[in-house]
């Protein structure tokens, strides 16, 4: 027989101080505690809720979240930005892909707290003045989607790829979309879509 219950860690606050020679300053009434370490003050956030501010698709969003909340969960649960999907939650499928300062990342593998102060672009931010982005248009025309659950992740990954490389060769395509999976099997459409989007972007 085996018992399954929470195994509490063994570290008490005092141990912390002992092991790392940290001196604790008076905790602030609001906001993070501050530790004085190596001659500087370092803010300690959490483990409880922390006020956070984000720039998503050019707009400012605020929420109070624990440090353990991922960017993906913040987007989906706090800001109703549910385009990025949670599928594997482990950085192995690409359904949660968003751009951080223009680079593609798995939002499930970024802590929300780390994404503050960075430009976050989600699939919801790709339309310009109510018009579909050429990639989105090309996805529709080439039927690069079925159930559509992987689609937002692919669309954002395609955007990252074309932003970096407007003229992808077939090998570049593989390299650029090597972080996304689809279960319905829409890859033929996706290959056609990105080729068309690249042409459209070059043309206009």
Ligand X SMILES: Cc1cc2nc3c(=O)[nH]c(=O)nc-3n(C[C@H](O)[C@H](O)[C@H](O)COP(=O)(O)OP(=O)(O)OC[C@H]3O[C@@H](n4cnc5c(N)ncnc54)[C@H](O)[C@@H]3O)c2cc1C
* Binding stretches for ligand X (CB under 6 A): 91-92
CA 160 centroid distance within chain: 13
CA distance 63 to 50: 8
- Which residues in 169-188 contact another protein (CB under 8 A)? 173-188
CB of 85 to ligand X, least distance (A): 17
Q: Of these, 56, 74, 106, 134, which contacts another protein (CB under 8 A)?
A: 106
Q: At its nearest, how many Å lie between ligand X and the CB of residue 91?
A: 4
The reply on whether position 120 binds another protein by CB under 8 A is: no
Contact between 150 and another protein by CB under 8 A: the answer reads yes
- C-alpha torsion sign, points 17, 23, 26, 29: negative
Can you tell me the distance from the alpha carbon of 136 to that of 148, in angstroms, rounded to the nearest whole number?
A: 12
* CA distance linking residue 182 with residue 102, whole number of Å: 23
- Residue 109: C-alpha distances to residues 163, 173, 176, 189, 195 (Å): 22, 23, 19, 28, 29
Inter-helix orientation angle 151-164/187-203, to 10°? 40
Nearer to another protein, 45 or 199 (CB): 45
Does residue 70 bind another protein (CB under 8 A)? yes
Kindly tell me which residue out of 14, 30, 47, 169 binds another protein, with binding defined by CB under 8 A.
47
Instruction: Decide whether 96 or 99 has the Cβ nearer to ligand FES.
Output: 96
Is 145 near another protein (CB under 8 A)?
yes
Task: Tell whether residue 96 is a contact of ligand FES (CB under 6 A).
Answer: yes
Rule CB under 8 A: is residue 123 a binding residue for another protein? yes
Counting beta carbons within 10 angstroms of the beta carbon of residue 55, is it exposed (0 to 12), middle (13 to 18) or buried (19 or more)? middle
Residue selected from 26, 58, 60, 80 as contacting another protein according to rule CB under 8 A = 80
Nearer to ligand X, 67 or 91 (CB): 91
Q: In the set 99, 145, 158, 161, which binds ligand FES (CB under 6 A)? A: 145
Which of 65, 83, 94, 138 touches ligand FES by CB under 6 A?
Answer: 94
Paired tokens of 167: 């003229």
Please name which of 43, 36, 42 lies closest in space to residue 21, comparing C-alpha atoms. 36
Calpha distance 201→204 (Å, rounded): 5
Residues that bind ligand FES (CB under 6 A): 86-89, 91-96, 106, 108, 145-151, 182-184, 186
């Amino acid at each position: 027989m085996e018992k399954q219950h929470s195994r509490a860690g063994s570290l008490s606050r005092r141990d912390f101080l002992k092991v790392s020679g940290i001196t604790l300053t008076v905790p602030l009434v609001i906001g993070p505690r501050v530790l004085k370490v190596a001659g500087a003050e370092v803010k300690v956030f959490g483990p409880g809720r922390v006020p956070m501010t984000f720039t998503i698709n050019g707009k400012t969003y605020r929420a109070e979240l624990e440090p353990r909340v991922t960017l993906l969960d913040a987007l989906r649960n706090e800001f109703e930005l549910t385009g990025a999907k949670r599928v594997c939650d482990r950085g192995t499928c690409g359904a949660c892909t968003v751009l951080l300062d223009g680079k593609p990342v798995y939002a499930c593998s970024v802590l929300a707290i780390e994404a503050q102060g960075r430009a976050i672009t989600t699939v919801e931010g790709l339309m310009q003045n109510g018009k579909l982005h050429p990639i989105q248009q090309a996805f529709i025309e080439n039927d690069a989607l079925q159930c559509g659950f992987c689609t937002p992740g692919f669309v954002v990954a395609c955007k990252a790829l074309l932003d970096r490389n407007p003229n992808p060769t077939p090998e570049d395509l593989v390299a650029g979309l090597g972080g996304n999976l689809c279960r319905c099997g829409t890859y033929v459409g996706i290959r056609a879509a990105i080729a068309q989007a690249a042409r459209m972007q070059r043309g206009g």
